[in-house]
Chain A
Amino acid sequence: MSRAALTHPVDGRFGAFGGQYVPETLMSALGELEDMWHEAKADPQFQLELAGHRRAFIGRPTPIYAATRLSEHFGGTHIHFKREDLCHTGAHKLNNAVGQALLALRMGKRRIIAETGAGQHGVATATVCARFGLECTVYMGTEDMHRQSMNVRRMKLLGAEVVEVKSGSKTLKDATTEAIRDWVTNVRTTHYIIGSVVGPHPYPEMVRDLQRVIGDEAREQYLSLDGKLPDVVVACVGGGSNAIGIFTAFLDDRDVALVGVEAAGRGVKTGEHAASLVGGRPGVLHGTYSYVLQDGDGQILPTHSISAGLDYPGVGPEHAFLHETERVEYVAVTDKDALAAFKLCTRLEGIMPALEPAHAIHHAGVIARELGPGGSILVCLSGRGDKDMDSVDAE
């Protein structure tokens, strides 16, 4: 399949997946957003400005790092990390938030809303709102406010209003539903900065465009370091933004295997997990047709993951497409294994990963054992783990 077919949605769809399943009230705003995004993307002035903020505010390019002791531990395959944990505010989420804030300014919308699970996207959004003088409201489920309390405090210090969402499972799904309801009500004045490659078109495409800098940088860095590409690129998948971000640059490199790691929670067979691609089926959630965890009647199921950022019953439509076309392999890793990888990486590398990419690190270990010495793996280390101290201590 050609690159064009893979990376440019047709009529807002990646193959069968995507679309705009939203109330009519939002349709013209989505149309405007699509037009504005395409215009901005093609505007050299916008790109220059974005590049400036990436350099001086986010701290890009982020390095790639040879995790030598981990490599040795896993049997000799070369493991590298793309260090998105070194982005300002501690995760890749800021790549998206900066771009969308610039777009909001361009559209003349001065009120920003966002949903957050781990709090990383909420912090990133609160941060850009502080930076650009925008009003900010973040929706967050009760359970997530509890397990990511440090990020709640950060958001408040940054001047954001954090609205507690008590409905449903009180996690990311419900926070997203609440944010969309707010948007339906305040669409004329408000821009919704969605935190992943989910939601109605053009969000999956726009967030992908803003996150692909991860892979664009990493591919070049890897080539200049090693003179060749890695055998495998691994990333964790919640909604799928850091994964799409790193995968996009490698889609055409047919020799590079791409692996997305979902959250298996207590095990996919237990039903207590958040692995939408591995354990779900196609359906509509939050405006997009993709893989969804749902019961036989189309009701969205509660999810479980130790990591709040992966604890979501849907996944971006481009991932559904990459799954069906088998360009990317999707697997799921349990809470227990992710926790062990978190500790291992902290001890062996002096890098404390977030619990989300700890899932990817565990699976990199599994692949490393198969590849043996001479193999090479690039892992997207999507964020740092300070936010997870309480969850890790509790285990």
Chain B
Amino acid sequence: MPSEAGRAQGAVSSASRLENALRAKDDLKLVAYMMAGHPNKRRSIEVGKRLAGSGIAALEIGIPHSDPLADGSVIQHAGQVALEHGMTVSGALGVAQAVAAEGVPVVLMTYINPVLSYDPRRFAAEASQAGVAGVIVPDLPIEEAEPVTGWFRAAALETIFMVAPTTPPDRITSICSHSSGFVYCVTVTGITGARKELPEGMPELLREVRKRTQLPVAAGFGISRPEHMKSLRGGADAAVVGSAIVEAIERGGDAVALVKELLKACR
């Protein structure tokens, strides 16, 4: 099969931009996650802009969903707050656009039903116009991906798929070949949420993924502490930090101090 990783390398500039941004040189890249509309729209744009300038490689922006199957209590709560304050898919695209204008690559993370309801074709076109680089849909496994990801590709959006600790080796291969931009390696068997320690099998899983793709590999779920960054260096290209950042935002901050602290451990 002609790999989509290969295709992505030849694709338009926004495509390779995400790849370049996430590929580790000697360091570990940091990807921050925030929820659009949390704690409200105006504030989330401010926070997003500040995070954009904080030294992160890319920003994941969550579109809130009423039933987030892959998220722990922190992100679920942030989503509920955002929905209560009137955040919508269209509003989240607006947040993404405002933040992407700062120059940071923006990746949208959302569940499949809001995308289906919005119409995947329109969603893809508007996301692309907003300057979004790629999309992650955690409840869209490769088997169900078409035709939705077809619309994403047609709009020059990267399609990032997830590998989990429970994914068998040959499936890792097909997930990598469906992915572009980067491959998202879910480090824990579970949902999002900060953990004290990362699982023992994580380096092995990262090796298995890296063997099978030229794309950068980002580790995510549970990652929250400087010592996690240290242990990921060399094993992953990037680390995604979500719940810890969302918690800082929930407390009224902008999470930049946390990002700076984590970045120190990335070099």
Tally of contact residues, B, Cβ under 8 A: 39
Interface residue? A253 (CB, 8 A): no
Q: Please, what's the 1-or-0 string for B125-149, where 1 marks a CB less than 8 Å from any CB in chain A?
A: 0000000000000111101100000
Inter-subunit contact A28/B191 (CB<8 Å): no
**A24-39 toward B: CB 8 Å interface, digit per residue (1/0)?**
1111110000000000
* Chain B residue at minimum C-beta to C-beta distance from A12: B143
Whether A25 contacts B166 by the Cβ 8 Å rule is: yes
Q: Which of B43-99 contact A (CB under 8 A)?
A: 65-67, 69-70, 72, 76, 80, 83, 88-89
Give chain A's interface secondary structure class.
mixed
Question: Which residues on A sit within 8 Å (CB–CB) of B113?
Answer: 283-285, 292, 294, 298, 300
In Å, the complex CA distance between A20 and B139 comes to: 8
Which of B14-22, B167-175, B209-217, B258-266 lines the interface with chain A?
A: B167-175
Separation of A24 and B184 alpha carbons in the complex (Å): 11
- Nearest Cβ in chain B — how far from A206, in angstroms? 18
Alpha-carbon gap, A180 to B66, bound state (A):
14
> Looking across the interface, which residue of chain B has its beta carbon closest to that of A25?
B164
Residues of B within 8 A of A285 (CB): 67, 113
Question: Is A184 a contact of B116 with CB atoms below 8 Å?
Answer: no
Minimum CB–CB distance for B213 against chain A, Å: 15
How far, in angstroms, from A26 to B144 measured CA to CA in the complex? Answer: 14
Does B186 sit at the interface, judged by CB under 8 A? yes
Within 8 A of B (CB), among A292-333: 292, 294, 296-300
Nearest residue, chain B, Cβ from A284: B113
A184 B139 Cβ-Cβ under 8 A: no
Q: Is the Cβ of A299 less than 8 Å from the Cβ of B65?
A: yes
Within 8 A of A (CB), among B94-117: 111-117
B-side contacts of A296, CB under 8 Å: 117
Tell me if B117 and A184 are in contact (CB < 8 A).
no
The verdict on A180 contacting B144 (CB below 8 Å), with A23-B162, A185-B190, A284-B113 known, is no
Query: Chain A contacts of B161 at CB under 8 A?
Result: 24
Question: 3 tightest CB-CB pairs across the interface, nearest first?
Answer: A298-B117, A298-B114, A185-B190
Q: 8 more A-B contacts (CB under 8 A) besides A28-B168, A283-B113? A: A21-B141, A22-B139, A24-B161, A167-B80, A184-B190, A284-B116, A299-B65, A299-B114
